[in-house]
Amino acid sequence: MNATTNFTVKSLRANKVRTLVTIAGVALAAALLTAVLTTYVSLNDYLYRSEAHLAGTWMACVEADGSSALDEKIVDAQADPQVAGTAIMRDVGFAKLTADQQNTQGTYLAIRSIEGDVGDICGIEPSEGRLPENDHEIMLFSTWNDYGGVSLGDAVTFDVGQRVARLAPGEEGFMSAGTMTASWGVQGEAHESEITDGTPLNSSMGVLEADIDGGIFNEEIANTEERTYTVVGFYDRPGYALSTAAGMVGVTAGSAAPDAFTDVFFTLNDVANTQQVEEAAEALFPDEHVVLHTAMLRYMGVSSDSSIWATFYGLVVVLAAVIVVACVSLIFNAFNISVAERIKQFGLLSSVGASRRQLRRAVVLEGAIVAVIGIPCGLLIGLAGCAATFAALGPAISQLAGSGEVAFRVAVNGWVLAAASVLTFVTVLVSVWIPAKRASRTNIIDSLRAASGSRVSKRGAARAAKCTGASSLWKTRGAAGRVLGVGGMLARINRKRGTGKGRAASVSLALAIVLLMTAGSLNVFLGTLTDVVTGGGEMAGEVGVMAQLDMETPQPAAPTTPEAVATANSELFARQAEVFAGAFHDLSRVAGAQPVGWKMTSDAYAIVPAAMAGEALVDQESGMGGKMVDGRVGTVGSVAYLDDAAFDDYAKSLGLNPADFRDPEHLRAIALARGYGNNGSVYQLLDILREPGTLEVVEAVTYHGEPAAGIGVGVTSGEGNAEAFAFQPYLEGDDDGVEWFPMDEADVQTASIEVVALADEPAPIVGGPGAGLQLIVPESMAAYQSFGSTPPIFYSYFDSADGDHGALAEELATAGSAYFHDKSPYGLAFYSFNDYIEQRDSNQMIATVVNVFCLLFAVILALIAMANVFNTVTNSLILRRREFAVMKSVGLSNRQFRAMVAEECAAWCICGLVPGVLLSLLVSFLLWQVISGSMTGLPFTLPWNYVALAAAMTVVAVGASVAYGMHRCRADNVVEALRADAV
């Protein structure tokens, strides 16, 4: 060990607290970087394994009609070194199913043969039994075993034939073929072929039913033959390869016709992006239709064309940058103070022949030693923290992702550990470089002459002399001097003579605020994104029952007025409300049911003043409304009629009087100010209404005395031939056709509704905010006024008294069916029940995962921030031990001394708070920009509760640092402190 190394090691030992705090800062930096990167790698690893488990590892799929040319291409592809593996599926035929079988199995049983490594490449694995080995064996979807009465070893017989398109009666022409490429995380262009009468249909084409899909074709099964198979297995994971547009797949081996429709799945070596995958697939199979497995490519790192993933990448970059900056500050301050504290030591070393390079190497070596100790500790802490967190949250994450069979685990990646280590080590070296240069440039005479930490710049000396002149000393003592006396005045003089002394402390305090507010902003923005993803709002109950009545709307024989139609509709609406109230009463008496509440909902056509309408309603491209010719905004919204008890509780929670909503002469409602949506690309936080006010709801429309059968929406020519939003009523015509007519040529009855309050969140019974206008009124209003333009849907909610929500759901289903069948005077249009426990648990798990992540991140950032503040403030005080001793030696009392230190610390806090908040604005803005890439409409807000928490924590940290520093300053008596050359 040479002299420089020996000096460095002794310096670290002599300042144990500073050394330990610096090592802790380096360890926390490495731990947090490791945790952030490991979380990313672990999530990507889980999604990759989950996608491979469900749909296989194929990168591209070629869809083509079978031929000898295709077979040659397949052989050539299998011999190509770039192709890592292939799997082939061919259409054998389609089996007719009975009506009962279609309820659980789909329209047809699509029988397909398999070749190659379908297990890994296509994700086809039996959940029971084995894969078929010849054309007399078959593997079926597990529903055949669950509901179809089929077991392993059974012989099943089907009439297997070919689907053929047939023109519907009275139709002629052709249509384009389509492919099922919009699901399972794939992308590809539609087939360009045309369907004409007699065209064979393959497994990629949907079922043609002209009466349902509005097309011109039906289909039939032709050339059927009876085939018998032995069931050798069942599968329960219907991934992309086992799902068709015509029904679930029955898997066999061989027996496909030479011209059968064929899917060739394959994986590739040495591809870096989606374009290379597509080009390789087209080179192997020219002129064929190619589908890319975009989800798998994304998880392989080949493609990242998702807004959510872009947000995730952005968060990783921003958080890593914040961590690095914080750690640079912590380590830089520690070594900067260390160098200043030992300036006389460096002067002595220079006087005995130490070169600038040796002095610089001593400080860099000190940083390297700290890094060598701190980085491994940080890596272990980061991995251990991820392991503990994933052990607790892994099952929840797996369940949320819908693949509970794939465990969420810590993915330890060598490049992550290397990246965290290198980045932390570089951070340490960057942090110590300036202090090292300062140490190497030490002037021997000045350093030997200077008292530790007492050197003052010429500018500082001039400023101090100006404010300490004998004639003006007490006149210019400042506010601190007037309040705190001599101690405050001395603190003011100290700031004048040495601005750099407090700068490091102020910077540390500013960064502490930045770190804490970063955690706060992340929590706020991710929390909002979580609400939008989950739909927001609380679940009203564990079990729900939903129904709609089948009631004929009265049609007057003679021409009528819209007022008469509105009255008839209102009476009809009121009768339905009475039936639903009775249903809830009956269901509430089911054993084990704890009633929560009920509602009924209906659509409404509303006209909103421009001043009230939010951007989501004004923007016609959103599909929710638009500006009309007269400047008002038209929209299709919904009305929720809550049972009176639930509405009263909700109104009171908003500070409103429920009685104000019972006046038939003055209709009032509560509306939601915002809504949640998803345009297929990003999530949306929608601005629905800006302020309370009065809007109009269309109650009835007649045209030449005939009630409109319904109302659609469209566009018309507005000012300057610009498109304007318009309601488009219609009458039912002959042959189930419709006759459209302009709204301004019709007789219209509207009702005025005063929106007295805008709520940010709906009542639990209402559910999550929707994507459009939502009005909330009491159920009793239905007795005299119906806002809805469509038949109402009934929702009722219950909790289970004994926790057996599954049994309660079945009991409620039976009781509800009996009520509507025996006691209701009207038939049912539809009826269903839902067990909301799984959805509620899923939402709670999402919130838990996000909250735990944000909490852990906040805790680690707080530790880094507090370590920085403690290290800087403590050493700033210890560095001035000799200065303090001089003051005491000339008669400064303990009280005056404490006042001086208190004033300096208060000044540090104020100087750190302002830039800290400003920098926090920048970091919060960056986080907002990143998360806005996945959610439009996210407002930029500051987490003011975290601002208060940051201020409080920094005050506590400063107080603890000062207490420890003053304890160290009091450890030596005045004489010893004055004699000391260095700490």
Three-state DSSP at 682 gives coil
The two tokens of residue 792 are 């109402």
Residues 429-480 have pLDDT tens digits of 887 887 777 777 766 665 555 544 444 455 545 555 555 554 444 444 555 5
Q: How confident is the model at residue 338 (pLDDT cuts 50, 70, 90)?
A: low
pLDDT at 28 exceeding the cut of 60: yes
Predicted structure pTM score:
0.63
Categorize the per-residue pLDDT at 755 as very low, low, confident or very high, splitting at 50, 70 and 90. very high
Residue 453's pLDDT is what? 43
Using the predicted structure, report yes or no on whether residue 156 has a pLDDT greater than 90: yes
Secondary structure of 219-288 as H, E, C letters: EEEEEEEEEEEEEEEEECCCCHHHECCCCEEEEECCCCCCCCEEEEEEEECCCCCHHHHHHHHHHHCCCC
Query: How high is the pLDDT of residue 648?
Result: 92
pLDDT at 744: 83
For residue 410, which phi and psi values (nearest 5 degrees)?
-75, 125
What tens digit of pLDDT does each residue of 347-379 get? 777 777 777 787 778 788 888 888 899 899 989
Residue 83 has pLDDT above 90, yes or no: yes
Is the pLDDT at 169 greater than 90? The verdict is no
600-618 confidence digits (pLDDT tens): 988 889 999 999 998 888 8
920-929 mean pLDDT = 83
Residue 468 gets which letter from DSSP? T
And the tokens for 783? 């007795």
- Closest to 297 measured CA to CA, from 59, 45, 51: 59
Strands (E), 541-645: 543-550, 593-608, 625-627, 633-642
Chain segment 659-715, per-residue pLDDT in tens: 999 888 888 999 998 888 776 567 778 888 999 999 999 888 888 888 888 888 888
Instruction: Tell me the pLDDT tens digit for each residue of 494-549.
Output: 655 554 555 666 777 777 777 777 878 877 877 777 777 666 656 678 888 888 88
The pLDDT mean for the chain works out to 78
Cα separation, 863 vs 726, whole angstroms: 58
Query: Is pLDDT at 417 greater than 60 in this prediction?
Result: yes
Amino acid letter at 203?
S
Residue 660: count other Cβ atoms within 10 Å of its Cβ: 12
3-state SS record for 850-876: HHHHHHHHHHHHHHHHHHHHHHHHHHH
Please, which residues have CB within 8 angstroms of residue 607's CB and are 6 or more apart in sequence? Answer: 628, 632, 633, 634, 695, 696, 697, 698, 750
Residue 184 CA to residue 124 CA, distance in Å, equals 14
Give the pair of three-digit tokens for residue 47: 């999604």
Mean pLDDT over 551-565 rounds to: 66
Separation of alpha carbons 164 and 251, rounded Å:
22
Residue-level pLDDT at 816: 84
Distance CA 778, CA 641 (A): 5
393 φψ region: left (φ > 0), alpha (ψ -120 to 50), beta (else): alpha
**Least confident among 102-106, 122-126, 128-132, 157-161:** 102-106
822-836: pLDDT as tens digits: 887 887 777 777 777
pLDDT above 90 for 155: yes
CA 263, distance to chain mean position in Å, is 35
Nearest to 203 by CA among 280, 260, 287: 260
